[in-house]
Structure 1
Amino acid sequence: MTVGSTPPKTLYQALFNKRMLICICTGFSSGLPLYLLIQFIPAWLRSFDVDLSTIGLINLVLFPYTWKFIWSPLVDRFVPPFLGRRRGWMLITQLGLLLAIASLALYDPTTNLTKIIWTVAIIAFLSATQDIVIDAARREILPDDELGAGNGFYAQAYRIASFVPGSLGLILVGFYPWSVAHLSIAAFMLVGIVTTLLMSESSKPSEVPHTLKSAVIDPFKEFFDRDGWQSAVWILLFIIFYKLGDSMATALETPFFLDMGFSTVEVGTVAKISKTIGATVGTILGGVVMIKLGINKSLWIFGVFQIVSILGYVALSIVGYNYLMLAVASGFEYFGVGLGSVALIAFMAKSTSRLFTATQFALLSSLAAVPRTFISAGTGYIIEAVGYTQFFLICFACAIPGMLMLFKIAPWNSQKTAVEETIAE
């Protein structure tokens, strides 16, 4: 060891520190509103006999997740008058989410569908804005040697948050009015609020962009100039297509389970527990395996699992009401989802410049949300036209183009992705 050098961290020091706790709590706060929108709201509306086509179209109001890169520079440029640039925006969005989610308790889907749609749109906007700030703060507080562990903890906490609307919420409506479930879910936003108040500000005043040009134009210019616009377009298309199949398959999975004859309590227990176990194992195993395999081979192997896992839903649509099949199909599907998510997050992190992490990551994560919003919006029409079995086979086919793009993006025998080679040059 040279004089003045920093001794390497132990595994304990790298995994058990305040930074990791912040990643866990902010990951939970990020995941809660999204899973409310994609799991709890569809079940709520379906229980009041709202048709699948309408439920599918409601995904369109989730557009903030795909367009958040447009206002992410403004979040970078302007600093709230309290708590600092990151913590100030985090508190604003989290308080807004608590109030908006709680307000859903006031509505009846049979008479207030328009108001529900507007509220869902507000929740999506606030949630997407919270994600912008949390992603930037996470990158700022984590040293390079903790990026993998920190993002892994964040991703897992994000998944665990789905337990609240997707399990606890659905169990509650088996015994209490839907309004009780809405208020209970809203209360869990306090996890993020308390974390924001207790953590330290990660952003330095000197890092705030002084002009709108430096906040808006420079991040995009660097991304598209790095190795030419053609290479940038390949990266953006890959991010859209890599998880297209599983995003479509899970878009209306709660109504799918209900249509198979399962009750909300059964979905909230059997399916939710199986999905969480599958996603947890997939995320943790994926993070560990990536250390040995690297990004390229992980994208290939995890992508295969991601595609094959869709076939579990094909089997469930054929078998119908069966506890074991529900557990196996949902657990296997989310095992693939967990693996694929770990690989894609790592790829997106490698695709951003440290100088423009907030805006560039917002751009990439916005594109990653495209299948979940715009493309998934039509899933209800497809299901009603061809049925569940044929629909999931279509999802399987839609996952293939993303895998084929790996020949260009991440060749199996290359030690680096196309992105890493570009940055190295």
Structure 2
Amino acid sequence: MSQTKSPAVWVPTVYFAMGLPMVLLSDVSLLMFKDLGISDGQITFWASLLTLPWSLKPLFSPVMEIFGTKKQYVVLTELVSAVVLGLIFAGLGIKDFFPVTIALMALMAISGSMHDIAGDGTYMQHLSQKQQSQYIGWQGAAYNIAKIFARGALVYLVGSLSKGYGVLWAWRAVFVLAGVIMLLVAIYHLVLLPGQMREPKEEQEPRSLSDAMKSFVEIFISFFGKRYIWFYLLFILLYRLTEGFAIKIAPLFLKAEVAEGGIGLTNEQFGVIYGTAGTVAFIIGSILSGYFISHYGLRRVLFLVALIFNVPFVVYFLLAYFQPESLGWVAGGITLEYFGYGFGFVGLNLFMMQQVAPGPHQMAHYAIGTSLMNLSVMLPGMVSGFISDQVGYELFFLIALVVAIPGLICAYKVPFTYDEEGNKI
């Protein structure tokens, strides 16, 4: 563990750099492509597919353990993101910008998923268990600051710049600004991130690709041999299924014209609501959920937490049905959405930590669980736009509520392997 650099110097910047590319790809790109005239079906398909590399992290990590160091991967992936964001700036200026931009974003997605692995590895390697507990809040805060910055400040900036320079140049300016930020963070980490750009491998690490693959197979065999694992995987996939189905459509619906069944928010309105009240509600919901679950125990409240997690989709159905003209009603709905999302998301993470991950390969098994969880969001998101185009926003969000029912049934029925103290039941 490194004692030469305070975690306060580098933990927030690592997790900010971890969050920014993900939010740009999964959320902000939706708004950009919407402004540039791409159909909802294409937007949701490709924006969802771009998150696939985050489901492939268990495949990347054995190779990363052999070739290179954690600091190398953190710095180099940040540099890759900076370069790609600059290339997106250039690509948005050509006629066939959409396929070129998607290809560049795919490269940034692969780089971003590798940054996640290296960033988490650096955190665990250089912090003691006590420090890891102390700085876990810094992680979440920094990641959420990246969300606020991207969804709020950058989207608001697009709205402001588009008045004088046009929508296309506004988006180009925002992406090049994000690229400059990632470049500065990479230079900062080159100097202040603990570890070395070259360091000897520990003896227990795999020395060859063959050794890494053997370890990889052993981890997967032990994972799928766990008690109730198939029920757990079904639960993980169904818990976020409605989120995956609706989450890509939600911002498109909010920006769509009223005549098209949407709300008609401008980029400035979207940025202010999401970047202020929405983010505050998400953080409050997450914190309250943690205290609520710790007081009553996850086993007792899992169904209620899952129910609250689906509140956002009731909100969107009501917004689509009534199409309120008052910005206050819309802001209130989005605030409630983010509170429910933050409150409910904690439940699934804790379930994976306490019921899926325990064992000799805890970190690897947790990574497998989160990777499969990402698939439950990615796959329905790929088809959500096509369904929305066919049925309209109101019926689409009603269908999303029906899709939530199997996950709620699983939350009510799912068995537990461990009690609150970590002992087998």
TM-score interval w.r.t. the shorter chain? Answer: 0.7 to 0.9
Question: What's 1:165 paired with?
Answer: 150
Count of matched residue pairs: 399
Counterpart amino acid of residue 293 in structure 2? M
Counterpart amino acid of residue 42 in structure 2? T
| Aligned equivalents of 1:23, 1:336: Cα separation in 2 | 27
Q: What's the CA shift for 1:158?
A: 1.8
Question: What's 2:331 paired with?
Answer: 327
Question: What's 2:215 paired with?
Answer: 218
Q: What's the CA shift for 1:269?
A: 0.8
Question: Which residue, 33, 39, 59 being the options, matches 1:51?
Answer: 39
Question: Which residue, 305, 311, 314 being the options, matches 2:314?
Answer: 311
Question: What's 2:76 paired with?
Answer: 92
Question: What's 1:105 paired with?
Answer: 89
Conservation of the 8 A alpha-carbon contact between 2:152 and 2:271: yes
The structure-2 alpha-carbon separation of the partners of 1:226 and 1:99, relative to structure 1 and needing over 3 Å to count, comes to closer
Q: Secondary structure at the match of 1:310?
A: helix
| Aligned equivalents of 1:271, 1:121: Cα separation in 2 | 25
The structure-2 alpha-carbon separation of the partners of 1:143 and 1:69, relative to structure 1 and needing over 3 Å to count, comes to same
| Aligned equivalents of 1:336, 1:319: Cα separation in 2 | 21
Q: What's the CA shift for 1:54?
A: 0.9
Q: What's the CA shift for 1:22?
A: 4.2
Does 2:292 align with 1:289?
yes
Question: Which residue, 341, 346, 359 being the options, matches 1:342?
Answer: 346
Between stretches 338-347 and 64-73, larger displacement belongs to: 338-347
| Aligned equivalents of 1:292, 1:380: Cα separation in 2 | 40
Question: What's 2:166 paired with?
Answer: none
Deviations 1:88-114, CA, capped at 9 Å, x for gaps? 111111111111122211123753211
Question: Which residue, 77, 89, 104 being the options, matches 1:119?
Answer: 104
The structure-2 alpha-carbon separation of the partners of 1:315 and 1:408, relative to structure 1 and needing over 3 Å to count, comes to closer
Between stretches 381-390 and 357-366, larger displacement belongs to: 357-366
Counterpart amino acid of residue 335 in structure 1? F
Deviations 1:152-207, CA, capped at 9 Å, x for gaps? 43234222211222112211112322211111222332346524641323997244
Does 2:231 align with 1:234?
yes
Q: What's the CA shift for 1:50?
A: 0.8
Deviations 1:295-324, CA, capped at 9 Å, x for gaps? 334533321210123211112112324311
Conservation of the 8 A alpha-carbon contact between 1:152 and 1:284: no
Q: What's the CA shift for 1:280?
A: 1.1
The structure-2 alpha-carbon separation of the partners of 1:102 and 1:347, relative to structure 1 and needing over 3 Å to count, comes to farther
Segments of structure 1 that go 5 or more residues without pairing to the other structure are 1-16
| Aligned equivalents of 2:414, 2:187: Cα separation in 1 | 39
Q: What's the CA shift for 1:251?
A: 1.6
Does 2:122 align with 1:137?
yes
Does 2:275 align with 1:275?
no
| Aligned equivalents of 2:378, 2:303: Cα separation in 1 | 25
Question: What's 1:393 paired with?
Answer: 398
Q: What's the CA shift for 1:230?
A: 6.5
Does 2:241 align with 1:244?
yes
Question: What's 1:254 paired with?
Answer: 251
Question: What's 1:183 paired with?
Answer: 176
Question: What's 2:22 paired with?
Answer: 34
Deviations 1:251-273, CA, capped at 9 Å, x for gaps? 23221111121111111112332
Conservation of the 8 A alpha-carbon contact between 2:309 and 2:345: no
Counterpart amino acid of residue 185 in structure 1? A
Q: What's the CA shift for 1:125?
A: 0.8
Conservation of the 8 A alpha-carbon contact between 2:30 and 2:248: no
Deviations 1:315-360, CA, capped at 9 Å, x for gaps? 2112324311221221111112212332223333343357545543
Question: Which residue, 44, 58, 61 being the options, matches 1:69?
Answer: 58
Conservation of the 8 A alpha-carbon contact between 1:220 and 1:360: no
| Aligned equivalents of 2:415, 2:133: Cα separation in 1 | 19
State the Cα RMSD in Å: 2.9
Segments of structure 2 that go 5 or more residues without pairing to the other structure are 162-169, 257-262
Q: What's the CA shift for 1:142?
A: 4.4
| Aligned equivalents of 2:370, 2:23: Cα separation in 1 | 16
| Aligned equivalents of 2:244, 2:396: Cα separation in 1 | 13
| Aligned equivalents of 1:297, 1:407: Cα separation in 2 | 10
Counterpart amino acid of residue 262 in structure 1? L
The structure-2 alpha-carbon separation of the partners of 1:354 and 1:225, relative to structure 1 and needing over 3 Å to count, comes to closer
Q: What's the CA shift for 1:219?
A: 4.7
TM-score for the superposition, normalised by structure 2: 0.84
Counterpart amino acid of residue 295 in structure 2? K
Conservation of the 8 A alpha-carbon contact between 1:133 and 1:358: no
Conservation of the 8 A alpha-carbon contact between 1:94 and 1:130: yes
Counterpart amino acid of residue 103 in structure 1? L
Question: What's 1:9 paired with?
Answer: none
Q: What's the CA shift for 1:148?
A: 5.2
TM-score for the superposition, normalised by structure 1: 0.84
Counterpart amino acid of residue 333 in structure 1? E
| Aligned equivalents of 1:316, 1:405: Cα separation in 2 | 28
Counterpart amino acid of residue 269 in structure 1? V
Counterpart amino acid of residue 350 in structure 2? A
Identical residues among aligned pairs (%): 23
Question: What's 2:379 paired with?
Answer: 374
| Aligned equivalents of 1:361, 1:229: Cα separation in 2 | 13
